[in-house]
Structure 1
Amino acid sequence: MRDLSKDHHWLSINTATVRQQADFVGIVEACARRGIRAVSPWRDQVAHVGLDRAVKAVRDAGLQLSGYCRGGMYTCDAAHKQEMLDDNRRAIDEAAALGAPCLVLVVGGLPQFSRPGSQPSKDIRAAHAQVTDAIGQLLNDAKAAKVPLAVEPLHPMYAADRACVNTLRQALDICDVLDPARSGALGVAIDTFHVWWDADVWEQIDRVGKERMLAFHVCDWLVPMKDMLLDRGMMGDGVIDIPAYRRAVEAQGYKGFVEVELLSNDWWSRPLDEVLDTCIARYQTVV
């Protein structure tokens, strides 16, 4: 396992972590000042400043990307399917323009939540099928743009509204169906917050392989948690054995960035400098 204690060479900041403190350009500049070499932007933050300005900011700062958030929200009724496909093709194009190594997919839950206006459904099996079908339809677009797609399983508490893919096993099953040759065009993003509870995750990490391990995200699980979406913990403040997960993914050959992704009302209330400095310190001591 890599020794991260001496520097923060492989640290990346997911821009959601400080979305309330600065716009995308401000986040990029603050990261560059601290020698943080990579970011992972969210689409709404890029749209806020404009894609061209975002591309220039990343280039001028000499930063890399560890991913782009997010594609997906595939589940919808027939009336919204073309809108969904068009939106995801735009996400692929944006990721390519920014130089992202992958587009992270939050696949969607039930259609009325993923694509508002869709006819309500309680059929989670149909949602699973829609996810596989949509990724299959978009995979050639991603290959043409040279943007791998990273399926991110989310904690089951988000199954209805955000992602019906809730385990690494489910994500890898999709990869096996759509990309059995392991071309590198389709893989997974593993976030400690979403997988730490799953007793099967260790066997599934062994199944990933180097070509499918596209992104690794870290944060912690607080007890108690005040908000199921916006109370993620800074690494070291919760109950997740984060080094164990890093050891497992690096054993598969992963040598990429360790991406800090906090959605937290607490950390959003703190100064930008404090949050980034804490991310660096915890990356070096508890990740």
Structure 2
Amino acid sequence: MTANAGLARLSLNQRTIRGATLPEAVTACVTAGVPAIGLWREEVAETGLEAAAACVADAGLRVSSLCRGGFLTGSTAADRAAALADNRAAIDEAAALGAPCLVLVVGGLPAGSTDLAAARDGVRAALRDLASYAGDRGVRLALEPLHPMYCADRAVLSTLAQALDWAEEFPAGQVGVVVDTFHVWWDPDLLAQIARAGERIASYQVSDWITPLPADVLLGRGMMGDGHIDFAPITAAVATAGYRGDIEVEIFNQAVWDSPADQVMTTMCLRYRELIAP
């Protein structure tokens, strides 16, 4: 497909129009002139892996990423082994879909534990098991640091610097990082760490930070321009670091999800052109 003017690097992360099936999300991209899509494993499974890959390819779209792998901090050896098996399956799915990276949300503290250092060591050990497996299949593991408010339950990986410390143990083609504005915009060291990241930037994701945060802080992402983030310096830093890949809009927000998908797509494209497009 041919993207609309100014949208050549825009990608719709499926969860921005949660409730749409994978074929419906693909159709929404084609209608809006958005040339890429970030897929989620649940919706891929509902459609079927081969059918999902064909649906995207037949529409002429790129797959910008697959979400998600990770959750590597199980409390027992059996839990951790199951997580590794699931992540290998996710890597295989990403390869079949033509996704260049598998986004990893690494997991929070194990149930009943307060040992943060041990949880982090466990993630790093898991990466040593998974990195070459991913690289051999042409998929890069994309470590996503999450805002510190998610440290206990979702990600013991909280800053871009920390993500790079972990990633740099491996070849850049095996392990990279995600720069997600919602999670990292607050970091006073952000621009320096983006410059450090360079070729390790595997995905650039955008959404805004809105206040007041909802009771479920997972749904605190807003449409770009509705919150507090200054996107221009972050986007410029990502570009200067050498990233030339797709830019995903990933929004978890009940009001956005309750809006008609075509309205969300129209607003997303407008705000992307105004605030994000490099």
1:271 and 2:263 are equivalent in the alignment:
no
Name stretches of at least 5 consecutive residues in structure 1 with no aligned partner. Answer: 113-119
Q: What is the rounded CA distance, in whole Å, between the counterparts of 1:84 and 1:124 in structure 2? A: 18
Q: What's the secondary structure of 2:133's corresponding residue?
A: helix
Q: Shift in Å at residue 80 of structure 1?
A: 1.1
Whole-angstrom CA distance in 1 between matches of 2:135 and 2:209: 35
CA distance in structure 2 between the partners assigned to 1:82 and 1:231 by the alignment? 32
Task: State the secondary structure of the residue aligned to 1:187.
Answer: strand
Pick the aligned partner of 2:153 from 140, 154, 161. Answer: 161
Matched, 1:137 2:129: yes
Contact 1:110 1:161 in 2 (8 A): yes
Identity of aligned residues (%): 49
Structure 2: distance between partners of 1:219 and 1:186: 23
Selected match of 1:224 from 196, 199, 212: 212
1:1-287 equivalent positions in 2, closer than 5 A: 6-20=5-19, 22-76=20-74, 77-112=76-111, 120-176=112-168, 178-179=169-170, 182-209=171-198, 211-226=199-214, 227-287=216-276
Q: Name the Cα RMSD after superposition.
A: 1.2
- CA drift of 1:173 comes to 0.4
The secondary structure found in structure 2 opposite 1:249 is: helix
In the TM superposition, what is the alpha-carbon distance from 1:231 to its structure 2 partner?
A: 2.6
SS in 2 for 1:36: coil
**Post-superposition shift, 1:255?**
1.1
Deviations 1:86-145 (A, max 9, x none): 100000000000000111110001123xxxxxxx21111101001100011111110111
Q: Deviations over 1:143-201 (max 9, x none)?
A: 1111011101000010011100000011000012x21xx44211101100000111111
- How far 1:6 sits from its partner (Å)? 4.8
Structure 2: 5+ residue stretches without partners:
none
Name the CA distance, whole Å, in 2 between partners of 1:60 and 1:202: 38
Query: Matched residues in 2 for 1:40 and 1:267: separation?
Result: 17
TM-score, with structure 1 as normaliser:
0.92
Q: Distance in 2 between matches of 1:260 and 1:207?
A: 23
SS state at 1:39 partner: strand
Identify the structure with the greater strand proportion. 2
Whether the aligned pair in 1 keeps the contact of 2:135 and 2:173 (CA below 8 Å) is no
Distance, in Å, in 1 between the alignment partners of 2:131 and 2:90 is: 13
- List structure 1 segments (4+ residues) > 3 angstroms apart after TM superposition: none
Tell me what 1:116 maps to.
none
CA-to-aligned-CA distance 1:33-83 (integer Å, 9 cap, x gap): 222110001111111111121111111101001111011000012121221
Give the partner amino acid of 2:200: R
Give 1:61's aligned amino acid. Answer: A
* Aligned equivalents of 2:30, 2:174: Cα separation in 1: 29
Aligned residues between the structures: 271
Contact 1:231 1:266 in 2 (8 A): no
Q: Which amino acid is the alignment partner of residue 183 of structure 2?
A: H
Instruction: State how far apart, in whole Å, the 1-side matches of 2:259 and 2:58 are.
Output: 27
